[in-house]
Amino acid sequence: MNRKALAWLYEQLPDLVTKGVVPAETAERIRAFYGPLPEGMGRRILFIVFGLTGTLLVGLGIVMILGHNWDQLSRLTRLLISLGLLATAQVAAGLVLWRRADSEAWREGTAVFLTLAVGTSIALVGQTYHLVDDFKNFLLIWMLLSVPLVYLMDVKGVAGMYLAGVMVWLVPVQPGGMTKQAAWVLLALILPYCWRLFKTNRYANAAVILAWLLVLSFYACFSLTWDKHLWEILYASLFSATFFTGLLWFGDTDKAWQKPFQAVGLLGGLGMAYYLSSGPWGGRVYHYGLYPLGRGEYLMGFGLFALAAGLAVLLARRGLARFVPLGALPAVVAVGYLLQDANNSGLLITILMNIYLLGISVLVILQGVREVRLGVLNSGMLMLVALILFRFFDYSYSFIARGIAFTLIGLAFLAVNMMMARRKNGVME
């Protein structure tokens, strides 16, 4: 039971006893059942945050003081400092593991310090010999030397640094060649730790931050390792699968920032849908004719589509079917591909995409009205207004075509409104 709820319950108990709602004996039994109020998380987190900030500042301060008269130091002194810094950090982390392994603050602090020391000492040695720094290689070695600490010391700070490092490492990697596939290995190295963290408490701050980094670095990996062929179905399926995963396993929270999977999946999918809804799609869709079957992109496309579909079925089974349309983009894209095969001007699929966006906007609005949730209602309105504005300023269609479409859809809205008003009046009478 969460602390806030328990605190409220314990606050109410004496009152309930005095007013005779609950007998004193029952109140005691409730207390015995839940046990004492757990100690506040606040102080522990504060301790860790201050510990981390402190070590970081001390480490950086030492480096800056040393850097001040760095060029007056002999090569030997510089090397002793560089290696001494690393050795000191290692001894500190080792001592904590030996004596204070139970203290999270000490583990996190010394592990971050050690990670920084690893990078600093390599960089300082490189600078001493005037080496042209190959940043990519440096980052890779640094991350690989640091990642064992995540497991040995059970530290989230280093896990976050590792994921951030991997993302930065990915940026200069050119698509093509073998190095790009190595990105997946790097990502896989941290997965068991994230998995364990998510299993214990996926809504804890550290777990949420790691989840964000994980989702973003996953997309960074994916965008680098897959070619542009069939990107519409690949990304549409991936965004849907991400969104559904979030709903299925990360949905027990009200705070938006604790839902990285939903946020990235939904916003990514919507962004794609809006992009594909503008202008004739034909010019954008790669139309190379049919590849020999078994080509990587096809298998991947089918695989991801099946994954998204499977997750949608799971959602429906859990009574969350109302969210499925929001992640139905892959199905729309698949129909789009078929339409493209029939008429490759791209007009049909662009219209289809607009219908889809109009449909889900209306669905979200209806859901907002039904559940009386203003936030949901406003999101739906925003989606609708965005669609209308995009189309209003979309110069790929003539004024006449847009004018007629606007008028017809507007009339449809008015008609539905009138029908609803009549029905409501009918009910009132």
Partner 1 sequence: MTKNKIVLLLFTIVAAIQLSVPLNMVWQWEDIRQTGQQYQWLTTPVDPYDALRGRYVDLGFKAAQGPLASGEKLSNGQTVYATLGVDANGYAYISTVSANKPETGDYVKARALYLSGGMMHVVLPFNRYYMREDLAPAAEIAYRKSAGKDGRVIVRIKNGMGVVEQLYIGEKTIEERINSY
Binding residues for partner 1, rule: CB under 8 A, are: 67-71, 79, 82-83, 86-87, 90, 93-94, 97-98, 101, 114, 118, 121-122, 125-132, 141, 145, 148-149, 152-153
Shortest CB 68 distance to partner 1, Å: 8
SS3 214: helix
Angle at 267 between CA 408 and CA 386, to 5 degrees: 30
Shortest CB 187 distance to partner 1, Å: 20
Nearer to partner 1 (CB atom), residue 93 or residue 213: 93
Query: Quick check: 116 and 56 in contact, CB under 8 A?
Result: yes
Nearer to partner 1 (CB atom), residue 128 or residue 344: 128
Q: Which of 371, 370, 337, 364 is nearest to 270 (CA)?
A: 364
Shortest CB 153 distance to partner 1, Å: 8
Nearer to partner 1 (CB atom), residue 142 or residue 231: 142
Tokens of 377: 């209602």
Query: Quick check: 373 and 272 in contact, CB under 8 A?
Result: no
Shortest CB 65 distance to partner 1, Å: 13
Shortest CB 215 distance to partner 1, Å: 28
Tokens of 105: 């603050």
Nearer to partner 1 (CB atom), residue 107 or residue 391: 107
Shortest CB 165 distance to partner 1, Å: 15
Nearer to partner 1 (CB atom), residue 107 or residue 259: 107
Query: Quick check: 118 and 86 in contact, CB under 8 A?
Result: yes
d(CA 103, CA 49): 13
Query: Quick check: 233 and 301 in contact, CB under 8 A?
Result: yes
Query: Quick check: 169 and 136 in contact, CB under 8 A?
Result: yes
Nearer to partner 1 (CB atom), residue 16 or residue 83: 83
Nearer to partner 1 (CB atom), residue 169 or residue 239: 169
Shortest CB 157 distance to partner 1, Å: 17
Return all residues near 242 (Cβ < 8 A) that are at least 6 apart: 215, 261, 264, 265, 268
Shortest CB 93 distance to partner 1, Å: 7
Nearer to partner 1 (CB atom), residue 66 or residue 366: 66
Helix pair 24-34, 3-18: axis angle to 10 deg? 170
Query: Quick check: 248 and 315 in contact, CB under 8 A?
Result: yes
State CA 220 to chain mean position distance. 12
Q: Which of 304, 319, 230 is nearest to 265 (CA)?
A: 304
